[in-house]
Amino acid sequence: MEYTHLGRTGLLVSRLCLGTMNFGPHTSEEDSHAIMDKAIEHGINFIDTANAYGWKLGEGVTEQIIGRWFAQGGGRREKTVIATKVYSKMGEWPNESKLSALHIKRACEDSLKRLQTDHIDLYQMHHIDRETPWEEVWQAMEQLVREGKVIYVGSSNFAGWNIAQGTDFARKRHMMGLVSEQCLYNLLARTVELEILPACEAYGLGVVPWSPLASGLLAGALQKATEGRRSEPGVIERIEHHRTKLEHYEAFCSEMGEHPADVALAWLLSNPVVTAPIIGPRTIDQLNDSLRALEIKLTPDELKKLDEISPGPGGPAPEAFAW
């Protein structure tokens, strides 16, 4: 396994991050535990979750599954850099969502209980809260860090200016501030190249892409268009929307002799700003298969070809749209 620093921190994380959104809804607890055991065996030490995963309001189903895995001992917690999130609605009453100081404190305490741990390694704001001032957000996070309940703070689904603004307010408080941004990034979704990636590079944030396979579209979707989740109407509609790109992409991957999913992950890993794409295996076989991406080193010509097949916005802003 390869490791890299999470942004400007001294924290070392694996180049692949194990996503757990399937744990509970699509993968049984027994299989989820087996996948995490196998991930640790492969050297993957970075596990991402969220308090809302499991999709049962307020229950934190996925965090509970991870917590019971930690409780088995054997160094599971000590070997893991656990990342979870705060923002989503966790109840029907006011102050049970978003980023008020009150909700951040309560949500953190609840996540700690479900995860059966005394601290969260990376506590991520799942979305920007435009109604809560940064002074309040950082006061709450600073208190959690002071108490030893949170080590690092990250963001998810932020705009570039949100990252800049949040970092500026943290500096005024002499805090480390944001150390990572988790964002939608793949060969079919490259908008983040305009401002988010440049902001992360400038401020020293690690980039943790979610949906690196575009919900399966970059995993050989045309070959399996009638199987599993790819047979759902919404997925079929997206396949048709991107059909031309996917046809060229899958043909190119075939010429390379590589599986499309592995090439998609390798493309992200080739970007020096990217820390670790999030893989979300539903089975151990899917986990094992994803490791091939670490061995693929795309050449300049291959990267150029992928840009031609699925172009980005034209580089960072403002050059992408101005002289």
pLDDT in tens, 147-162: 999 999 999 999 999 9
User: Cβ(182)–Cβ(228) under 8 Å?
Assistant: no
CATH fold for the domain made of 3-309: TIM Barrel (3.20.20)
Q: What are phi and psi of 145, to 5 degrees?
A: -65, -45
φ/ψ bin of 105: left (φ > 0), alpha (ψ from -120 to 50), beta (otherwise): alpha
Question: What confidence tier does 173 reach under pLDDT thresholds 50, 70, 90?
Answer: very high
CA–CA dist 217, 213 (Å, integer):
6
User: Model confidence over 242-284: pLDDT tens digits?
Assistant: 999 999 999 999 999 999 999 999 999 999 999 999 999 999 9
Flag whether pLDDT at 224 surpasses 80.
Answer: no
User: What does the pLDDT look like over 189-208, one tens digit per residue?
Assistant: 999 999 999 999 999 999 99
192: CB partners within 8 A, 6+ apart: 183, 184, 185, 207
Banded pLDDT at 126 (limits 50, 70, 90): very high
Residue partners of 271: CB distance under 8 A and separation at least 6: 197, 207
Q: Which sequence positions are flagged as catalytic? A: 53
Question: Which of the four pLDDT bands, split at 50, 70 and 90, describes residue 225?
Answer: low
Confidence of residue 234 (pLDDT cuts 50, 70, 90): confident
- List the domain boundaries for the chain: 3-309
Q: What is the pLDDT of residue 323?
A: 87
Lookup result for tokens 């499991």? 54
* The pairing of beta strand 3-5 with beta strand 17-19: unpaired
Return phi, psi of residue 4, to 5°.
-150, 165
| DSSP secondary structure, 111-169, as one string | HHHHHT-S-EEEEEESS--TTS-HHHHHHHHHHHHHTTSEEEEEEES--HHHHHHHHHH
Q: Which long-range contacts (CB under 8 A, 24 or more apart) does 244-248 make?
A: 245/188, 245/309, 245/310, 246/217, 246/218, 246/221, 246/222, 247/222, 248/309
